[in-house]
Homo-oligomer: A and B are copies of this chain.
Amino acid sequence: MIAPELLEKYGALKKSFDKNEIIFEEGNLPTHYYQILSGEVKMSNYNDDGREFIQGIFYKEQSFGEPPLFLNQKYPANAIAVDYSEILLLPKNNFLKLLEENPVISLKIIENLAQRLYYKSVMAAEMSTQEPEHRVLKLIDHGIAYFNFKKDSNGYLINFTRQQIGDLTGLRVETVIRTIKALEKKGLLKIINRKVYR
């Protein structure tokens, strides 16, 4: 969301991450601003018994991990490359300097944080209701609006695995599979050779 040229002007460097490589870890202090050039990144937590919760998935041109950067707090989650990804890293001080010298960027950051807060609010309310069908459908509809789902003749292709949907909604895979089938039976989405369309 910040022009790559501007980031580079302030000293941002490109770094590549292999599939499943860790970009930063929960508990560490932030040192950089991160913006994706290509690929896909997830932020997630692992609880005591190894179960994953995905906070969010980010794609090209998106940034991630800013909140702790602004607050001088430890990262509340890990950032992991889902695919091979190229990311621009700008050291914290340079980033703050960039913001200071380019006030219009502040508004961009505000809008971005506002957007993410909005998503979390909607999902939090949805997740508290406990009904799997609600949770899954809300996630899918949010994904259509904000992730890069593509539309074809069958509708929007939801390119998440059942496992990812589970990790994003706090449900188990089996429950997601059954829920998706139930939603299909109700005509709320389509399953065409295992792929989900809405």
A121 adjacent to B170 (CB under 8 Å): no
A182 CB-CB contact with B under 8 Å: no
A13 CB-CB contact with B under 8 Å: no
**Binary contact track A80-123/B, C-beta < 8 Å → 1, others 0:** 00000000000000000001000100110111011111101111
SS class of chain A's interface: helix, strand, loop or mixed?
Answer: helix
A121 to B128, CA, bound (A): 14
Give residues in A with beta carbon < 8 Å to B: 45, 47, 51, 53, 55, 66-71, 73, 76-77, 99, 103, 106-107, 109-111, 113-118, 120-125, 127-130, 169-170
A-B contact pairs, 15 of them (CB 8 A): A45-B125, A47-B129, A53-B125, A55-B121, A67-B115, A67-B117, A68-B114, A69-B114, A76-B118, A106-B110, A110-B110, A113-B117, A117-B120, A120-B121, A129-B170
